[in-house]
Amino acid sequence: MRKQVAAANWKMNLTYQQAEQLITDIINTPHTLAAHQRAVFAVPFPYLTMVADKLKGKNGAAVSAQNCSSYKSGAYTGETSVEMLQSIHVEYVVLGHSERREYFHETSQLLTDKVNLALQFGLTPIFCCGEALSIREAGTQNEYVANQLKESLFHLSADDLQKIIIAYEPIWAIGTGKTATSEQAQEMHAHLRSALANQYGQEVADSISILYGGSVKGANAKEIFSQPDVDGGLVGGASLKADEFVQIIQGLK
């Protein structure tokens, strides 16, 4: 079975003390992770080592950075390299989140460079893709999102591609009042898996976890995750509440 992943994206939220309390509350709320399940915490840079320390000895739980530099090292003030992340035992890094693409103008080529560096230093990229409302309304979402994969990932070997987790974000359904159904999530996930199969073969495509990043909550997690091509979620706001995120973890199949 593919890895089933509940990934928390705390974004730019919480003080150190609040973050420490949240991860403590999540750890102390009863839940279990099966061998094929993972709970990943993408936390702000200042909290990486604290959260990693809290998760020590917790099977299936790991810490993730929310971003990294496209440069290996050098005179890039304010940036954080993958080598730095590796040196503090960070296992995952979120790349290409819709907010990074929109607000910081991250391009497919920039993301290619970040993916390459992450893999070079042994980090697992959680690669985000997704379409805005205008693209969804134009009916071109399938081609648009598949092209995001093609432009940033399809240069990889099959072995390297299988080291990546993909997260689909329906940007049009986040904070807009519009809701994506579990069927819409499944439709896009199946399309992405088909695009992977066309490039790398069905066996490779079937091995890759594809997460859903559209307003997952405790109340809808189990239904969304039950879809055959949905392998968990990349969770924003709901990951800032301990009981809510634990409920999402429990929704994994």
For the question of residue 187 being annotated catalytic, the response is: no
Burial label for 30, CB within 10 Å (0-12, 13-18, 19+), is exposed
Q: What separation in angstroms does the CA of 7 have from each of 31, 77, 103, 150, 228?
A: 15, 29, 22, 23, 18
Q: Which of 97, 99, 189, 244 is flagged as catalytic?
A: 97
Q: Are 186 and 227 in contact (CB under 8 A)?
A: yes
Which residues in 37-56 are b (16+ Cβ under 10 Å) and which e? bbbbbbbbeebbeebbebbe
Residue carrying the six token digits 């071109």: 140
For the question of residue 169 being annotated catalytic, the response is: yes
CA-to-CA distance for 193 and 208, rounded, in angstroms?
8
Q: Which of 99, 106, 131, 169 is flagged as catalytic?
A: 169
> Across-strand partners of 129?
168
Catalytic residues: 97, 169
